[in-house]
């Protein structure tokens, strides 16, 4: 998995390399909003019922595990962004 520049900066920050202004407030707020939208979309997909067709159901169940992992990672990213925003508020 290749990290984007943004992802790399967030990982460096989360690893304890807490640079000031790694991302500015506007970038963090945009990232937070994107992550919230992604989570909402994933949750809607997960809450949707299964198709009547058995083959489609099998595919949906396989995709469910993937969606759950994407949701977990997205939630962690969102927490990291919110911590960064809180730290900006404190400084």
| Domain membership flag for residue 11 | no
CB 76 within 8 A of CB 9: no
Radius of gyration of the chain (CA): 17
Predicted local distance difference test score (pLDDT) of residue 23? 72
What pLDDT does residue 19 have?
A: 45
Examine residue 54 and state whether it is found in any structural domain, yes or no.
yes
pLDDT tens, 56-91? 999 998 899 999 999 999 999 999 999 999 988 887
Report the pLDDT value the prediction gives residue 13, as an integer from 0 to 100: 57
Query: In this model, does residue 1 exceed pLDDT 50?
Result: no
- What is the pLDDT at residue 42? 94
Summarised one tens digit per residue, pLDDT across range 2-51 is 456 666 666 665 555 444 455 788 999 999 999 999 999 999 988 988 88
With respect to residue 19, please indicate whether it lies within any of the assigned structural domains. no
Query: Is residue 56 one of the residues assigned to a domain?
Result: yes
Q: If we measure between CA atoms, which residue out of 69, 65, 72, 87 comes closest to residue 20?
A: 87
Is 4 part of a structural domain of the chain? Answer: no
- Contact of 31 with 23, CB cutoff 8 Å: yes
**Full DSSP string of the chain:** -PPPHHHHHHHHHHTT---TTSS-HHHHHHHHHHHHHHHHHHHHHHHSPPPSSHHHHHHHHHHHHHHHHHHHHHHHHHHHHHHHHHHHHH-
Is residue 75 in some structural domain?
A: yes
Q: How many domains does the chain have?
A: 1
Residue 86 inside a domain? The answer is: yes
Structural domain boundaries enclosing 76: 26-90
């Amino acid at each position: 998995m290749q990290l984007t520049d943004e992802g790399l900066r967030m990982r460096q920050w989360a690893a304890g390399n807490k640079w000031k202004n790694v991302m500015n407030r506007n970038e963090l707020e945009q990232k937070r909003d994107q992550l919230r939208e992604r989570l909402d979309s994933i949750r809607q997909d997960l809450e949707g019922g299964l198709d009547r067709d058995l083959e489609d159901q099998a595919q949906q169940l396989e995709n469910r595990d993937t969606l759950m992992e994407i949701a977990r990672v997205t939630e962690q990213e969102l927490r990291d962004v919110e911590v960064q925003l809180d730290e900006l508020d404190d400084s």
